[in-house]
Structure formats: C-alpha cells, structure tokens
C-alpha cells in the first residue's frame, strides 16, 4: 500500500512528517475525502473544487496544480488497486521553524479500503443528540475535530449514533455529515449557515429539487421536533434516516418515504457518475 507524500509515493508505514509540522504544533491544516468505486473516484471535480477553495482560504499552497493532482491521484489508484475505497487528502501548515508561521505545506494522499453502505436503508434509523457548538471557519474543511472527537463519549453514553451541532437552538451540521428535515408540508429543508457544504448535500439538494420543494434556511431544534422525517448525508454514509433527536421521536419514529426516495435517487446518480467518469478516463 502506498501513500503519496509531497513528491513521492512511499510505503504506507513510512509516511511520516516531522514534529515541527503545523498540524502537530497548532492543529493547522485542511483535508478532503472522497470515495472510489470500481477504481473510479466519484464526483472528483466537486471534491477538488472544495479542496482548493479550503487551501486558498487557509493560505496554504498546493504544490500540485489541478491537472498534476489528478495524474498523481490516478497513479495512486493504479498502484494500490483498492477498487472500493476512500481517499483522504490532507494539506498541513508545513514544517514551521517557529511552530506558528505557515510554511510550505505537507501534502498527504492516503487510500483505505472502504465498505460501502448498503443500497437499502437500515430499517430502524438512528438516534442523534444535540450539542451547542459551531465549527470555526465552518465553510472550510479544516482538520479541527476536537469537539467531534471529544463528544463521542457523551454520544455513546446516550446510545446515539451522531451529534448534531446547534447554536442557541439553530442546528447546523454533524461533525462529519450534513442534516436535512422533511417538514409536515412535505418540503425538504437543510441549514444554510455555519455548515460545511458537503458534496453529498449538494447532490441530494439537486435530486430533491426534481421532486420536492427545497429550502436552504435556518432550521431550529423545534423544527426538528415538528418534522415528519429527518436524515443525514455524507460521502461515506450516503443518506441515513434519523428517527430520534435527544429524547424526542421524529415523525412516526421510522424512516420516511422522502428519505427512502432520495437514497435510491442518490445511488442511481452515483452509478451514472461512475459510468461517466470511467468514460472520460477512457477517452
């Protein structure tokens, strides 16, 4: 297994960075993550758009331009031959002489085998709990998950599967997923503020728009209590129905029809994307 590190493909266990790296010294870095299906990276352009935008906002230079990045990526996929996998791209603040100034970033591209979620939704749905917090610079995919990791204990103690962030009752996102509700009138809503713009969120919004009325807006905890359905979206999890928030049941406590429809539409979109991307590579 290879990891790409700055300029070279290195054996995974030899991929090391110096302790002066600004991620270790000051938690400063960004990343992105996408899936590979049958050796084809899905929705790659969307993820690269976000990765380069995160880098620019955080003032980190990407040593590879977009075309060089893609060549490197395809070479990594070829070498590792993990047909169903996830690829994580990390860009740190680099080896900093004084442990505070941004330096020449370290670029890490790592691939891991990934079990894809099943094509049918888990019939029981999940419980989530709320936690008051907004990520700093929320539109950037920084590496800062201190609160996400730290709240895992509380989450497990309460038998929940994820933690929904809110600030003074306005919900935003999960540590690694976006959030949607289906209201009693059948409209589909998702928070517009204090979120990372997930690529799966974007696709689900596009799919939902074809069949339902969608709103990107303020969503409150009370809106969630009143909702008919709720679900999360993420690159690795696709769509997961949410049937309980804290001690409140959502809707009838079962995955709803809109959630199930959107999951099927998303799976179909993924397959189209895989065929389209495979074609582009061949051409």
Q: Does 130 bind its own copies (CB under 8 A)?
A: no
CB 194 within 8 A of CB 34: no
Task: Give dist(CA 258, CA 230) in Å, integer.
Answer: 9
Site residues for its own copies, 69-88, by CB under 8 A, read 88
Under rule CB under 8 A, residue 107 binds its own copies: no
Query: Which one, 87 or 188, has the nearer CB to its own copies?
Result: 87
169 binds its own copies (CB under 8 A): no
Decide: is 93 part of the binding site for its own copies (CB under 8 A): yes
Query: Which span (71-79, 101-109, 115-123, 193-201) binds its own copies, by CB under 8 A?
Result: 101-109
- Could you tell me the smallest distance in angstroms from the CB atom of residue 18 to its own copies? 5
Q: Which of 108, 177, 195, 230 binds its own copies (CB under 8 A)?
A: 108
What is the C-alpha to C-alpha distance for residues 270 and 272, in angstroms, rounded to an integer?
Answer: 5
Q: Which stretch binds its own copies (CB under 8 A): 145-153, 200-208, 221-229, 271-279?
A: 145-153
Nearest CA to 84 out of 50, 35, 129, 42 is that of 35
Question: Of the listed pieces 16-24, 215-223, 248-256, 268-276, which binds its own copies according to CB under 8 A?
Answer: 16-24
Binding of its own copies by 146 (CB under 8 A) = yes
Rounded Cα gap, residues 151 and 129, in angstroms: 10
Q: Under the criterion CB under 8 A, does residue 205 sit at the interface with its own copies?
A: no
Q: How many residues bind its own copies (CB under 8 A)?
A: 44
For its own copies, the binding residue among 54, 80, 85, 92 (CB under 8 A) is: 92
Among 28, 34, 43, 47, binds its own copies (CB under 8 A): 28
**Burial tier of 14 (Cβ tally within 10 Å: 0-12, 13-18, 19+):** exposed
Confirm if 217 and 271 have CB atoms less than 8 A apart. Answer: no
Q: How far is the CB of 121 from its own copies (least distance, A)?
A: 23
Q: Which residues pair with 216 in a beta bridge?
A: 190
Cα 253 to the center of its chain, rounded Å: 26
b/e map 89-105, b = 16+ CB within 10 Å: bbbbbbbbeeeeebbeb
The span from the CA of 30 to the CA of 110, in Å, is: 14
Is 269 one of the binding residues for its own copies (CB under 8 A)? no
What is the DSSP secondary structure assignment for residue 41, as one 8-state letter?
E
105: nearest Cα among 23, 14, 3: 23
Task: Give the position of tokens 């599967």.
Answer: 161
Tell me whether residue 148 or residue 198 sits nearer to its own copies (CB atom): 148
Q: Which of 125, 148, 198, 241 binds its own copies (CB under 8 A)?
A: 148
Nearer to its own copies among residue 149 and residue 257 (C-beta): 149
- CA 194 – CA 201 distance, rounded (Å): 14
Determine the Cα–Cα distance for residues 227 and 183; give it in Å rounded to an integer: 5
**145 lies in the binding site for its own copies (CB under 8 A):** yes
Report if residue 154 touches its own copies, rule: CB under 8 A.
no
Q: Which residues bind its own copies (CB under 8 A)?
A: 3, 5, 13, 15-19, 21-29, 31, 58-59, 88, 90, 92-93, 99-102, 108, 110, 133, 136-137, 142-150, 152-153
């Amino acid at each position: 297994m290879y990891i790409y590190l700055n300029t070279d493909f290195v054996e995974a266990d030899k991929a090391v960075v110096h302790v002066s790296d600004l991620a270790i010294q000051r938690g400063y870095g960004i990343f992105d993550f996408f899936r590979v299906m049958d050796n084809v990276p899905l929705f790659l352009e969307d993820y690269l758009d976000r990765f380069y935008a995160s880098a620019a906002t955080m003032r980190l230079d990407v040593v590879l331009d977009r075309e060089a990045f893609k060549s490197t990526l395809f070479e990594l996929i070829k070498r590792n031959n993990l047909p169903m996998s996830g690829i994580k791209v990390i860009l740190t603040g680099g080896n900093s002489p004084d442990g505070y100034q941004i330096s020449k970033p370290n670029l890490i591209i790592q691939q891991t085998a990934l079990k894809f979620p099943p094509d049918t939704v888990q019939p029981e749905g999940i419980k989530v709990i709320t936690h008051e917090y907004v990520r700093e610079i929320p539109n950037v995919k920084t590496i800062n998950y201190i609160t996400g990791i730290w709240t895992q204990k509380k989450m497990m103690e309460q038998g929940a599967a994820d933690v929904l962030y809110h600030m003074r009752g306005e919900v935003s996102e999960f540590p690694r997923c976006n959030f949607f509700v289906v209201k009693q009138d059948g409209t589909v809503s998702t928070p517009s503020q204090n979120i990372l713009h997930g690529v799966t969120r974007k696709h689900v919004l596009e799919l939902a728009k074809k069949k339902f009325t969608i709103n990107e807006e303020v969503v409150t905890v009370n809106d969630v209590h009143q909702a008919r359905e709720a679900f999360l979206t993420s690159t690795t999890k696709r769509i997961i129905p949410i049937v309980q928030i804290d001690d409140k049941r959502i809707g009838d406590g079962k995955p709803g029809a809109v959630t199930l429809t959107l999951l099927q539409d998303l799976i179909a979109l993924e397959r189209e994307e895989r065929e389209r991307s495979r074609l582009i590579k061949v051409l």
